[in-house]
């Protein structure tokens, strides 16, 4: 029994060490990309560091994918991790920040830091119980991957491709960027169907959550008002009984006289 507890404790310590190490590497990679984009420091050294961390995160992703018991759930929950190892542009490293969110959630850091307030509970309910985080991850993945393929087939920059993907998925469609090749039009068609569908689900999820919260607040207010009214009625009844008792005492004293 003691040996099992010791093994469980060591496993937990290794897991915490792994998460802390990944968190530090995530912050380091984001810092290097930020420095590269801002033109700070040695560009060559930063590129070497970014590419080295890219390999580390790619290996980590593949190992976790192989070891996970449910690959379908893993691919949905780790969509940002997959985007974070795309070698097309260093800016994709910012998607690795999703690991920080999972680290905070897995180890219940808000609760441990006594920050588990009403706001954090509402945030958790919105992000996970409604499935918003999964819909958001899939939507972002579709937009980014479509932009990536569009940039390759249409010979466009990543910035222009992302702009095209956003305007297409949100049905804005300014028309300043359009596909000219057959493969580019296929990508656009897939994005129109998949992207618009998931963005519609996102919108309905947000509106449904807001409506549900509004109903909960209204119901809570009604219950509070009813409780206050019942309390007031109880006090009035008690006061009435005391007045009746006092009146009876007065009448009895008059009879004695």
- pLDDT tens over the chain, length 257 residues: 556 777 777 888 888 888 888 889 998 998 998 888 888 888 888 888 888 998 999 999 899 889 888 887 787 778 778 878 877 677 778 888 878 777 777 666 666 666 665 666 676 677 767 777 777 777 877 888 888 889 888 888 877 888 898 888 887 878 888 888 998 899 888 888 887 777 788 888 888 877 877 787 777 777 887 887 888 888 888 888 877 777 777 666 766 65
Burial code (b: 16+ CB inside 10 Å, e: under 16) for 63-82 equals eeeeeeeeeeebbbbbbbbb
Amino acid 124: pLDDT: 67
Q: What is the pTM of this model?
A: 0.59
Amino acid 168: pLDDT: 87
User: Scanning the structure block, which residue is given the tokens 């380091």?
Assistant: 28
Amino acid 59: pLDDT: 92
Amino acid 221: pLDDT: 76
- Nearest alpha-carbon partner for 44 in 55, 35, 54: 35
Angle made by CA atoms 95, 99, 103, in degrees to the nearest 5 = 160
The CA–CA distances, whole Å, from 242 to 234, 235, 248 equal: 12, 11, 10
3-state DSSP call for residue 237? helix
Amino acid 91: pLDDT: 76
Q: Is 86 left (phi over 0), alpha (psi -120 to 50) or beta?
A: beta
Contacts 24+ apart (CB under 8 A), 55-60: 56/25, 57/25, 57/29, 57/81, 57/84, 57/85, 57/96, 58/85, 60/22
Residue 36, judged by CB atoms within 10 A of its CB (0-12, 13-18, 19+), counts as: buried
- CATH 2.40.50.140 assigned to 122-257: no
Amino acid 119: pLDDT: 62
Cα–Cα distance for residue pair 72/14, rounded to 1 Å: 26
Amino acid 50: pLDDT: 87
CB 185 within 8 A of CB 179: yes
CB 167 within 8 A of CB 195: no
Amino acid 116: pLDDT: 60
For the chain, domain boundaries: 9-116, 122-257
CB 19 within 8 A of CB 107: yes
């Amino acid at each position: 029994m003691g040996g099992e507890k010791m093994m469980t404790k060591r496993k937990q310590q290794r897991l915490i060490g792994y998460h802390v190490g990944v968190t530090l590497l995530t912050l380091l990679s984001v810092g290097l990309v930020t420095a590269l984009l801002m033109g700070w420091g040695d560009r060559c050294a930063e590129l070497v560091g970014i590419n080295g961390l890219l390999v580390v995160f790619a290996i980590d992703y593949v190992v976790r994918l192989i070891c996970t018991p449910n690959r379908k759930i893993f691919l949905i929950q780790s969509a940002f991790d997959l985007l974070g190892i795309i070698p097309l542009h260093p800016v994709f490293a910012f998607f690795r920040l999703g690991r920080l969110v999972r680290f905070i959630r897995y180890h219940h850091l808000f609760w441990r830091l006594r920050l588990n307030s009403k706001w954090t509970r509402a945030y958790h309910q919105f992000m996970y119980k409604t499935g918003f985080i999964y819909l958001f991850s899939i939507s972002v993945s579709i937009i980014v991957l479509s932009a990536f393929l569009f940039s390759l087939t249409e010979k466009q920059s990543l910035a222009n491709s992302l702009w095209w993907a956003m305007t297409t998925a949100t049905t804005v469609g300014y028309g300043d960027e359009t596909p000219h090749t057959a493969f580019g039009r296929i990508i656009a068609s897939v994005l129109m169907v998949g992207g618009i569908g998931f963005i519609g689900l996102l919108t309905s999820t947000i509106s449904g959550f807001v409506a549900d919260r509004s109903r909960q607040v209204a119901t809570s207010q009604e219950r509070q008002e009813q409780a206050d009214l019942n309390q007031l009625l109880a006090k009035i009844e008690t006061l009435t009984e005391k007045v009746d008792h006092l009146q009876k005492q007065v009448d009895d004293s008059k009879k004695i006289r």
